[in-house]
Structure 1
Amino acid sequence: MQKINEELLACAQQGDEAALAALIARMMPAIRKGAAACRAPGLDFEDAVQEGLIGLFQAVRGYNAAAGTPFAAYAAACIHHAQQDAQRAALRKKHAPLNFSVPLPDAEQIPQPGPEELAIAGERYADTLQRMRTDLSVMERRVLIASLHGQPASQTAQALGTTPKAVANALARARRKLRGE
């Protein structure tokens, strides 16, 4: 365990960045050793090192020399506890969905269709509408349109004055005809 100069510690507690950097340099071997010991799925070595550094910052902020414990021992305990807390949190798998999720692409990354694709899609749409007018019966068209609007079969049946089974059959026929079967 490194012996920490009390003057260096006092400067770090007062916000001296150079003193804090010197404390970090002296405690880094202990932080790295603790990080290597507490690896877990969802907790990388670098993350454990960061947790150890957070523990060291808490030790610098909360150390009281009047308690009689040497700073190095107090800091080692704070580092160890911070890393153990991170390991326990990683083992709970509370954030597993976030760790293994795939980010959604930005709107700029989604490829926009070109004029050719838009023209082809427009032709397909017009062809489908024409086939709906010519190939489907009035009942099949009404049932299909109600289904496309999210209306349940029971509500469609009530509006058309028929049974839900007749609505389901008409919808199946319409789909079959539009697929070209």
Structure 2
Amino acid sequence: MRAYEGQSDEELLQLMQQGEPEVAEYLVKKYKYLVLRQARAMYLVGGDTDDLIQEGMLGLFKAVQGYRPEKAASFATFAQVCIHRQIYSAVQSAGRQKHEPLNTYVSFSNQDWEEVSAFQDDQNPETIVIGQEQMTQIREQIYQLLSPFETRVLQRYLEGMDYIRIADELGKSPKSVDNAIQRIRGKVRAHMEKIRKEEGND
């Protein structure tokens, strides 16, 4: 595979269209972190990590194949949207959105929401579950539920770090990190379920 570093995504995609299929593999590897970030955030709300990653990778592949520079912003933004839609569609298809707080998926990154919202105009309004202001409020509420250690673990976890690296940075054992993730997950799910019930009573 030739070296593609230093070339813009748009230049790489043009090369792919000209007959360099290796570009697709390069871009998928380059942006896999976007899949992990969204899948991990959804896992905290109640999803299955492996399934979410598979769906996210499918969304990323669709982005590589379907990006048209004249119709979209940057490829990174377009990829973010395709990943988000694929994961969310999978949740809806599973029929779990009525029984789990998965449909109130909270992105813990402001960047995630800003990138996704740029392309929301053509989506079904029902898929836009929580507005930006409410998402920010919920995110702050969740962080308030966490201990200082859990907050540090969550920040690193959402950055894509594995348990061993998180443990090394924080001077803890991988087991302590895993326990913290499970506590965080329980707190997030309980809080989202509380919100869902409150909205249902409105």
Query: TM-score w.r.t. structure 2 length?
Result: 0.39
Relative contact order higher in (CA < 8 Å, ≥ 6 apart): 2
